[in-house]
Chains A and B, each alone.
Chain A
Amino acid sequence: MIVEYARSRPWKSSASVAIAVASLSLLCSGCSVAEGPVLDPKGPIALTERDLLFRATAIMMIVIIPVFIMAAWFTVRYRGTNRKARYAPNFDFYWPAEIVVWSVPAAIVVWLAFHLWEYTYKLDPYTEIDPSVKPLQVQAIAQDWKWLFVYPEQNIAVVNELAVPVGRPVSIDITSDTVMNSLVIPALGGQIYAMAGMQTRLNLLADEEGTFWGRNVQYSGRGFADQQFQTLAMPQEAFDSWVQKAKDSSNALDAATYEVLAKPSEKVPVTYYSGVEPNLFECIIGKYSHGDADRMPRSSKAQLTE
């Protein structure tokens, strides 16, 4: 019977097949996405970003759903062969319809704009998460094709691994010693570009223990696909012993070691350094900017003028 029905209305049967296939593929994918970093965040920044994602999606359904309904309804109802439907060939203007189609999307945009400003200020990567707590300082340097993290207060450095204590804000100063990169840890938040001669910053916080992947997401050449690292979110005691482990390393990151490390290399294993060349991060920026303060984005410029 379905076949017969389909034969009589070929356009309808193919439409239903298409919808069935599309919704099946959506369903299948729905299962794993719930566990993905975007929908299952591990820190307040990513969580608030998700919150905005949900709210904005919901409000836009006011426009999206009527489009689906109208498209389906009008296509079926006003098909040429349906002689019962009213036909109004000169119906081309109707004030109330015009007012609705302009004002409803405009009202949604006003709603969105208020949220947009609020959330953009709240989630500005430069904004400190909790001004009452001194964040852990980390300096991230993008290289071909790895990430070097320097902990200035602990005087350690590590390649392709980032450890953070759970519950304590982390402030990551970012620059690049190569082409443009972009640092993201999807479960925690991000991203922001890393650019040579300039400094950007990410403020993050992990409020659950775990291992979350992070990486460069701005295409940067041959080794791009493997330019990733693990973020270890651990309790303070575990973090302290992680720092100790790095301090026990026999490698030191002096200027000469850095020169070698900065050369292009792929799939570099996690490497710890105890003792870091003083002002390494500033020197890397200065190498390209010749100390030109105008080249440094906001935060560092502010520091310089202070």
Chain B
Amino acid sequence: MDIFGRLTIDSLPFYSAVAASGAAVTVLGGLAVAGAITYFGAWRMVMTRWVSSLDHKKIGIMYIMLALVMLVRGFVDAAMMRSQQAIAYNNEGYLPPDHFDQIFSSHGTIMIFFMAMPFLSGLANLIVPQQIGSRDVAFPFMNSVSLWLTTAGAGLMLTSLVVGKFSTAGWTAYPPYSGVEYTPGVGVDYWLWMVFISGFATTMTGINFLVTIFKCRAPGMTMFRLPLFTWTIFITSVLIIFAFPALTVACAMLILDRNFGFHFFTNDMGGNMMNYINLFWLWGHPEVYILILPAFGVFSEVVATFSQKRLFGYISLVCATIAIGLLSFTVWLHHFFTMGSSAKVNSFFGTMTTIISVPTGVKVFDWLLTMYRGRIIFKPPMLFTIGFLVTFVIGCLSGVLLALPPIDYMMHNTTFLVAHFHNMIIPGVLFGYLAGYMYWFPKAFGFKLNEKWGTRAFWCWIVGFYIAFMPLYVLGMLGMPRRMEHYDIAAWQPHLVVAWVGAFIILLGMICLAVQLIVSIRERNEALDLSGDAWNGRSLEWATASPAAPYNFAVLPKVESRDAWWDMKQRGVAYQRPEKYEDIVMPKNTYAGLVIGVAGGVFGFAAIWWMWWLAFLALAVIAGTIIYRASDDDDEFIILASEVKAIEDERFARLAKAPKNEMADEPGFAGESAAEPAT
């Protein structure tokens, strides 16, 4: 047995200029980051304060950094596909089929597993403990393991660009195409192992947040006082716990098929691909709600804050969230109405799917009614929210159409479908996460993001979205299938050129986001959030300093109503100094999470390339690290009351310098008093 398994020198991408330059960019990007850290002498800081940190806020920030990096990579894939399709009328374009197929596979995989999922985990980590008045998540170490296993998956994704080829089987990897008989090589194995490893990480995140929200709430924070974002993370965690095992099992079975001669999903020997498709979508449909519910949570927070008004229909919104969560497990078959089920089965799943539109519609109207009789301030997060409301309902319309089996027979596998789910995922999920990123950025770093560039980013994204995806609806009406490397129908090309223009405008939106971050860091002293309450907020995360102390709350808050922080400000009990501070116990930093993550990545790489000795070694390292960590009783440290006092004194000194209300200078500011003015 060769120690390098099936890895040979030919696995390096010197066979194609496009592939080689992609690999070069990846490698140089990695070297540039390492070089920058070295140049600034920051290795010690990065390792001791960040990589080894168990602080949920830092873990959240690292998740979001990962998501933003992968967003760039996923976008590059999208731009390459749009360019190929814009020119490939009656010619081969600039990408051969084999390369084009890898790109659409990696685009979907990256955007779902390594952009949206880490972004979601990042926002949850950053905000949920602060919103429920907790000092930490329930399992801080497991949180670190989740982060580094997710990063390991993303690392495998990036590695696939440099060593070997990626899967051509799409982000869903349907067998038998993804089976070893039709797609030998490492591509599908890369996909399987990265999804398997990061899926594990996500499952642990789900468990962590479910327990955190159940067990770590501040006194008085009953379930029906939870802010909507926390509610959505709660339901999302439930969905993760029930849905992800289906994906993990499906991946494991396909791994056995491909590597060990099993026949779960093969054409012959009793295999059946329909089982994979059912398992995949049994995860896949809840997954879209796993992604979008937290975005709904962000919109709920943002719309109330910037309308300077209570959230309308809180109970309705919570019920709708729960209803969506339950219903999301009853609709998976609508992803394959065309697999030949009877009219009875298709009708049932079609009906269940249309029923989901009821709670979704309720949410849209409740957000609109929150704006009604408000005083709306058009900060970038609010712009994303309004853009979402208008654009999202178009996606709902196309979604309900696709839920009708006869229409799905026509539209399935066409670009109409592609337009539909991008219509849900860009204005729904991504706008929500970007709104959350801009809304909570001051909470994470202590200064606000530049509004001018945020507004520009918003306009580029929304205009770009319409121009890029409305033509895809039209192309679906013209019958264009998805995943076409080239085509010979002239009527398609103009629309594909328009879509390419849209992608270019989205590129401008990406650039605006980058410029916004750079400008904001350079001009941070002009946009400091001294009070910790950057937007005159309503929920408890605004009660902490920006950035929050490691322990979030020196004294745990007592919650007496919904909109807990708003209520405290109204009652005049906000910003009160406690009479005395107490010692606080916090988890110690540890490298164990990183070690498990790195070993997990090495294990995945070794399994992909059949270097079994290395795979076993990596597994042994993981097992050893867990045993070591589990038997280490010295995993906490005490922040002494005097140290807490010093940190809090500094906070109150900053508060004294802060304006009475961070929003007071806004032209649309409604005033301190939330009392209804006489009419």
- Residues of chain A at the chain B interface (Cβ within 8 Å): 11, 14, 17-18, 21-22, 25-26, 28-30, 32-33, 35-39, 46, 48-49, 52-53, 56-57, 60, 63-64, 67-68, 70-71, 74-75, 78-81, 85-94, 97-98, 100-102, 104-106, 109, 112-113, 115-117, 119-127, 178-180, 182, 184, 186, 189-193, 195-198, 200-201, 213, 215, 217-225, 287-288, 290, 292, 295, 297-298
B481 engages A221 (CB within 8 Å): no
Does A105 contact B176, Cβ atoms closer than 8 Å? no
Cα–Cα, bound, A288→B266 (Å): 9
Question: Which segment of B409-417, B548-556, B581-589 sits at the interface?
Answer: B409-417
Give the A-B pair count, Cβ closer than 8 A: 327
20 contacts between A and B (CB under 8 A): A29-B498, A32-B494, A52-B404, A52-B406, A67-B390, A70-B372, A71-B390, A78-B374, A80-B669, A88-B373, A89-B676, A92-B310, A97-B365, A101-B361, A105-B358, A109-B354, A112-B400, A184-B479, A186-B410, A197-B267
Instruction: Tell yes or no: B591 within 8 A of A by CB.
Output: no
Q: A74-B371, A80-B668, A112-B354 are in contact. Are A92 and B340 (CB under 8 A)?
A: no
Closest chain A CB from B359 CB (angstroms): 8
In angstroms, how far is the closest chain B Cβ from the Cβ of A286? 11
Say yes or no: is B401 at the interface (Cβ < 8 Å to chain A).
Answer: yes
Residues A221 and B467 in contact in the complex (CB < 8 Å), given A74-B371, A123-B406, A191-B413: no
Complex Cα spacing A87 to B673, Å: 12
Kindly state the separation between the CA atoms of A261 and B370 in the bound complex, as whole angstroms. 64
Please give the distance in Å from B83's CB to the nearest CB on chain A: 16
Partner pick for B316 among A98, A121, A124, A220, CB 8 A cutoff: A98
Contact A220 B177, beta carbon cutoff 8 Å: yes
In angstroms, Cα B474 to Cα A112, docked, is: 23
Say yes or no: is B621 at the interface (Cβ < 8 Å to chain A): no
Residues of A within 8 A of B371 (CB): 74-75, 78
Contacts of A112 in B (CB 8 A): 354, 400, 404
Q: How far is the CB of A276 from chain B (nearest CB, A)?
A: 22
By a CB distance below 8 angstroms, the chain B residues around A297 are 340
Name which of B202-210, B227-235, B483-491 contacts chain A. B483-491
B368 touches A196 (CB 8 A): no
With A98-B316, A106-B358 already in contact, the answer to whether A63 and B393 are too (CB < 8 A) is yes
Q: Is B679 an interface residue (CB 8 A)?
A: yes
What chain B residues lie within 8 Å of A218 (beta carbons)? 174, 413
Q: A224 touching B483 by the CB < 8 A rule?
A: yes
| CB–CB B312/A89 < 8 A | no
Given A60-B400, A87-B676, A180-B174, 20 other A-B residues pairs in contact with their CB atoms under 8 A: A25-B471, A33-B474, A37-B479, A39-B477, A56-B404, A67-B368, A70-B368, A75-B386, A87-B374, A87-B677, A92-B314, A97-B313, A101-B361, A105-B361, A121-B343, A121-B347, A179-B182, A191-B412, A224-B485, A292-B270
CB distance from B551 to the nearest CB of A (A): 32
Indicate which residue in A26, A79, A123 contacts B378 across the interface (CB closer than 8 Å): A79
Nearest-CB residue, chain A, relative to B398: A57
A195→B370 CA distance, assembly (Å) = 50
Contact of B495 with A by CB under 8 A: yes
With contact pairs A53-B401, A80-B667 given, residues A92 and B177 touching in the complex (Cβ less than 8 Å)? no
Nearest CB of A to B456, in Å: 9
* Interchain CA distance A37-B411 in the complex, whole Å: 11
- Please state if A120 and B350 are interface contacts (CB–CB under 8 Å): yes
Given contacts A120-B347, A193-B340, contact A219 B482 (CB under 8 A): yes
Min C-beta distance of B576 to chain A, whole Å:
23
Pair A28/B498 contact, Cβ less than 8 Å: yes
User: Do the beta carbons of A32 and B478 come within 8 Å of each other?
Assistant: yes
Binds A, one of B147-155, B458-466, B524-532, B599-607: B458-466
- The smallest beta-carbon distance between B213 and chain A, in angstroms, is 23
Question: Which A residues are in CB contact (< 8 Å) with B81?
Answer: none
B interface, over-half SS: helix
Contact status B310-A89, CB under 8 Å: yes
CA distance in complex: A116, B666 (Å): 50
A97 touches B369 (CB 8 A): yes
Return chain B residues, CB-CB under 8 Å to A33. 474, 477-478
User: Nearest CB to that of A127 among chain B residues?
Assistant: B343
Known A68-B390, A87-B374; contact A109-B355, beta-carbon cutoff 8 A: yes
Q: Which residue from chain A places its CB closest to the CB of B315 in the assembled complex?
A: A93
A92 touches B312 (CB 8 A): yes
Residue of A86, A104, A120, A191 with highest tally of chain B CB at under 10 A? A120
Contact surface of B with A, Cβ cutoff 8 Å: 97-98, 101, 168, 170, 174, 176-177, 182-183, 267-268, 270, 272-274, 307-316, 336, 338-340, 342-343, 346-347, 350-351, 354-355, 357-358, 361-362, 364-366, 368-378, 383, 386, 389-390, 393-394, 396-397, 400-401, 403-407, 409-414, 455, 459, 462-463, 466-467, 470-471, 474, 476-479, 481-487, 489, 491, 494-495, 498, 666-670, 674-677, 679
Complex-state Cα separation, A52 to B406, whole angstroms: 8
Are B351 and A81 closer than 8 Å at their CB atoms? no
Q: What are the residues of chain A within 8 A of B101 when measuring CB–CB?
A: 219, 221-222
- Given the complex of chains A and B, what is the CA–CA distance between A178 and B176 in angstroms? 8
Complex-state Cα separation, A109 to B351, whole angstroms = 8
Is A124 in contact with B342, judged by CB distance below 8 angstroms?
yes
Q: Is the CB of A80 within 8 A of B177?
A: no
In whole angstroms, what is the CA distance A121 to B348 when docked?
A: 11
User: Within 8 Å CB of B394, what residues of A?
Assistant: 64
Q: Would you call B390 and A18 a contact (CB within 8 A)?
A: no
Alpha-carbon distance between A29 and B140 when the two chains are bound, in angstroms: 53
Contact of A25 among B346, B358, B370, B466 (CB under 8 A): B466
Give the CA-CA distance A40 to B58 in the complex, in Å.
Answer: 56
A56 touches B407 (CB 8 A): yes
* Distance A102 CA – B409 CA, assembled complex (angstroms): 30
Question: What is the CB-to-nearest-CB distance from B483 to chain A, in angstroms, rounded to a whole number?
Answer: 4
Q: Is the CB of B410 within 8 A of A189?
A: yes
Whether A193 contacts B338 by the Cβ 8 Å rule is yes
Q: In the bound complex, do residue B397 and residue A64 qualify as a contact, i.e. CB atoms below 8 Å apart?
A: yes
CA A175 – CA B370 in complex, angstroms?
A: 54
B350 nearest in chain A by CB position:
A116
Min CB gap A235→B, angstroms: 25
